[in-house]
Amino acid sequence: MIPDDSRFESDPDELLPSDPPLPDGWSVTGVDPASDADVDRLVELLRGHEVAGRGWAGASREGVLVEISDLGTRTRENAVVRDPEGVVQAWAGVHDRAAGRMLLLHVVARDLDHVVAAGCARVLLTWAEAQARAVGAARGLPVQQIDTGAFTDDPRQHAWLSAAGFERVRTWWQMNRPVAEAEAGLVPDPERWEKDGVVFRAVGREGSGMPDEADLRKVHHVLEGAFTDHFNSREETFAEFVHRLRQDPGHRWDHWWLAEIVDGGEPEPAGALVATESESDDGPNGSYVDYLGVLANARGRGVAKGLLHTVIADAALRGRNRVGLEVDADSPTGADGLYTSMGWTSSYLTQSWHKDVPVDDATDDAADPA
């Protein structure tokens, strides 16, 4: 269920010590989504973070607004560190993603003196830990996990997270596959096709153009069931799931597919794929697979491969030049083998770092990452 009010504390002063390790004149405040200067600066910081970590930038203004605007206020909170001129030099955002799992976005300007940068990191990680206690308490949990990411080639971020008590728990391959125009014929029709007793189809649409809720619930049911035994899987309600995905700037209702087994009479949901449109600064846009799941009792019937062929063909029909996805490099399932056999290659790696925060421990300060 999406809360009517945020579970977070909106005033940074309520969460931080009175003497944060910042230079004179520096302060911690909220973000003003109506300020072009704030929004532009956050985009600049995030793009600089991406360039340093993987060699190229992809952050957009639309993506930043999802994090800070009214769209996300019930499930997100943000804090920034400002220099004496009021310019944002560091930013942290937390997202109440699902019960027991809070996501953390954390970026610090790349041109800061290393001592000042470390002070900014310590302040924002302390703030994030306090937010974890707040959201965990609101959910009635004894422990709240903070889940944050880092590029594999970002030792500065690794050092700060490690010093603050986070542990690296997973590595992820970020993969891309080129799409050729001729691949529009990989499947008869991405809207609906059938093979070996399995129907692959786009979710139904109502007269208004909105998706059929029953189909959306089938997608949610399949993905919840498919990921039950996956790393860090946390139960997400249908309302949380749909609300979160709709906030993505690349969200498109016509990028949701179901696979159903029909050889037994009544169609039975077996797999689902949810994709988004990924924009490009130069050249055609691409498609990105946010979710691909197959229920255990349907594995071995070509469901995953059929759904992937569907999204590739759909991308080709739309004039796109690639399909991206993320793969758990530490997974024992060998899913990467399917992707590489179908033409995906790894372009860069990311990591998951976690910290479990006792909700009732109000005195547990983050370690100094300097």
Q: Provide the H-helix boundaries in the chain.
A: 36-54, 61-68, 114-138, 155-163, 213-226, 238-247, 303-317, 335-341
Q: What is the pLDDT of residue 366?
A: 40
* Per-residue pLDDT at 370 exceeds 50: no
Same structural domain for residues 20 and 142? Answer: yes
> What is the structure's pLDDT at 69?
81
Domain that holds residue 222: 180-320
Within a domain: 338: no
221-242: per-residue pLDDT in tens? 999 998 876 766 677 889 888 9
- For residues 84 and 28, membership in a common domain is answered with yes
The answer to whether residue 2 is domain-embedded is: no
Is 363 a residue whose pLDDT tops 50? no
pTM more than 0.75: yes
pLDDT band at 365 (very low <50, low <70, confident <90, very high): very low
Tally the domains of the chain. 2
Question: What confidence category does residue 206 fall into, taking pLDDT thresholds of 50, 70 and 90?
Answer: confident
Tell me whether residue 334 is in a domain.
no
Structural domain includes residue 1: no
Q: How far apart are CA 235 and CA 139, in angstroms?
A: 13
Tell me whether residue 369 is in a domain. no
What pLDDT digit, counting tens, does each position of 319-345 carry?
Answer: 999 999 999 987 766 777 889 999 999
Within a domain: residue 340? no
pLDDT tens digits, one per residue of 284-301? 899 999 999 999 888 889
DSSP readout, 181-212? GGGGGSSS-TTEEEETTEEEEEPPB-TTSPBP
Same domain as 147, residue 31: yes
Please state, rounded to an integer, the average pLDDT across all residues of the chain. Answer: 91
Q: Are residues 201 and 315 in the same domain?
A: yes
Q: Same structural domain for residues 85 and 150?
A: yes
Q: How confident is the model at residue 263 (pLDDT cuts 50, 70, 90)?
A: confident
Pair 298, 261: CB distance under 8 Å: yes
HEC profile of 340-363: HHCCCEEEEEEEEEEEEEECCCCC
Q: What is the CATH number of the domain that holds 191?
A: 3.40.630.30
